[in-house]
Amino acid sequence: MILPWFHSLMLAFRFPFPDCGVTYLKKRMATVLIQGASRGLGLQFARALAARDSVTTVLATCRRPEQAEELRSLPKVQVLPLDVTSETSVAAAAQQAAAATAGLDLLVNCSAILHPSGRGETSLRDVSLAGLQETFNTNTFGPLLVAKHFAPLLQAGSGALGVQSEDAKQRHAAVLVNMTAKVGSTTENVLGGWYSYRMSKAALNMATKNLSIELGRGRKKVLCVGLHPGTVDTDLSRPYHKNVPAGQLLSPERSVSHLLAIVDRLTVADSGRVFVWSGEPLAF
């Protein structure tokens, strides 16, 4: 009989333990990258991951590292410049990351805007090509280009996050997270409005699904998922806080804690799916 605490210890460190009928893999140390880490959810992801003993390095990107004082003060954090709306900048950041690490175990795409004006469109009269383009550049095209240029590092990851399959052919090298939103789900849309934001997140969900298929092939699989953080107390949602029911506005700390718990239990079967912060899958 295996004592529960000892079984948990074996699961945590994944040592060989032949008598229990479970194959444990040796625990690996993780290198992670947070894209869009200077504030809000991205900053909290960097803070939470840097606090983990199992994480050795946090690569954190933002447009202006010299202004990201809190981010630069975190332990284990190396800040890289990256403008998600510029493929040249994304490619240069990937080269810098490759010089700093041999592989990534987790990449979280956090950058997002509601609309260039700071408020979502309430009717067709508010829709403009410039607003659509800028929102898509940040929310959809940028994360996809980050996936493109950082894929080699993800495929070289050690598989330190998520739950590895007992089938060697189904084990994964890394996890890619695209931060999405419930309002991007066509099945959840009953109010309309917010054209740019809703459409950009719906398109991001499709990109995540595509990535899960392409990066799920071969022996260096990357699990790709979308995560909805809930309504979080950040600059993006601040104009709408007064409309949030009491008790439903999440702190960045609470949201990220739940989101990382989801990442920790991801399996290969979850790739291509979207989950809300509380753990339930979201139809999109």
Report if pTM > 0.85. yes
What pLDDT is recorded for position 233?
84
In a domain, 167, yes or no: yes
Alpha carbons 155 and 221: distance in angstroms, whole number: 7
What mean pLDDT is predicted for residues 151-161?
A: 98
Is residue 20 pLDDT above 60, yes or no?
A: no
Q: Is residue 239 part of a domain?
A: yes
- Residue 65 Cα distances to 59, 78, 80, angstroms: 12, 10, 7
Asked whether residue 221 is domain-assigned, the answer is: yes
Q: Look at residue 4 and tell me if it is in a domain.
A: no
Give me the number of domains the chain comprises: 1
9 occurs within a structural domain: no
49 or 1: whose pLDDT is higher?
49
Backbone angles phi, psi at 80, to 5 degrees: -120, 140
* Residue, of 88 and 5, whose pLDDT is higher: 88
CA–CA dist 270, 258 (Å, integer): 16
Residues in the chain: 284
pLDDT tens-digit map of 173-182? 999 999 999 9
The three-state (H, E, C) secondary structure of 225-280, written as one string: EEEECCCECCCCCHHHHHHCCCCCCECHHHHHHHHHHHHHCCCHHHCCCEEECCCC
Identify whether 184 is part of a domain: yes
- Residue 14's pLDDT band, with cuts at 50, 70 and 90, is very low
In a domain, 74, yes or no: yes
Domain boundaries, position 180: 28-276
CATH of residue 72? 3.40.50.720
Residue 231 has pLDDT above 80, yes or no: yes
143 CB-near residues (< 8 Å, 6+ apart): 35, 84, 109, 111, 178, 204, 207
The answer to the question of residue 3 being in a domain is no
